[in-house]
A = this chain, B = another copy of it.
């Protein structure tokens, strides 16, 4: 790997960035496990020396869909904004186009965050939705990306586009070059089973792009996340990727088995952590500790200043509950600056 790419995509070798996706993991066996133990000892020494600050520095702020509280989600502008606010990881969601491009978008259909209904009024399916898988990248590039929610960025204002995965990576890596920081990416594969049915299987092609940009191996500044856990299992066991993998867990009875001790045991065979709905932490205050006992990181989603659960007096209280009381390893936030502040940086 050339040195420039290494700088962009891997943990610095001088230890200047102490946020390994693998910190504290003991589930990979052999040499990795020994290394992990040494890391743990080193981390423990750091914590002893610097107290809470060192601990906070170890936790990560994931900019959910970019700084989507401030700018339309999944636009290069929202990612740039999040980067400047101090996020550690930028989160692109990934969906494929008819011609196989990976675009950054939350939904597999286009109408919630673009003006596709105006530009291509007749191109919806029978369910009334405009699927990205029915449009070429060139067609999608003619659309305006727009704010999803009514009380955030003025809907339709200014001018935003739908970016590709490559454009997101080049933005983040370019900023890493100009700032000297080491910000990572945290891509989510959206609905891999749907894409497979459309003839657009995601796993191998996404890994190939990530590898092309230097994201490979366990120290990569890249977490791959997915709600469909067979996808993660395939990535680890069939495609032999060592990238850090995060199993998303919705607050739904269909996923309840995943966070039993048995489920976590199974998950730890191929994943490096869980990304649970934050409600699950409240419903089961043992979840984070149990996941940690299985060697799994915990990155709950999503904290939003403008959608604060009523059980907290302030947004700061919610961050405190998740990061300090529950000791999660990071979190997804629409307002990354709030999370950065909560970590005392």
Contacts and interface: CB of A to CB of B under 8 A. Distances in A.
Interface residues on A, range: 20 to 34
Nearest to A177: B154
State the copy count for this chain: 2
> From DSSP, what is the main secondary structure of chain A's interface residues?
helix
A175 B70 contact: yes
Contacts of A77: 76-77, 80, 171
A71 interface: yes
B157 A71 contact: no
Interface string A169-208: 0110111011100000000000000000000000000000
Interface stretch (A81-89, A128-136, A261-269, A276-284): A81-89
Interface string A203-224: 0000000000000000000000
A7 B77 CA distance: 23
A67 interface: yes
Contact of A69 (B83, B152, B164, B178): B178
A170 B152 contact: no
Contact of A178 (B70, B76, B83, B171): B70
Nearest to A84: B84
B158 A76 contact: yes
A163 interface: yes
Contacts of A167: 158-159
A71 B174 contact: yes
A240 to B, nearest CB: 29
A174 B153 contact: yes
Interface of A: 67, 69-71, 76-78, 80-81, 83-85, 152-154, 157-161, 163-164, 167-168, 170-171, 173-175, 177-179, 337
Given A159-B170, A161-B161, 15 more contacts: A67-B84, A69-B178, A71-B175, A76-B77, A76-B159, A77-B171, A78-B80, A80-B81, A81-B81, A81-B83, A81-B84, A152-B178, A153-B177, A158-B163, A158-B167
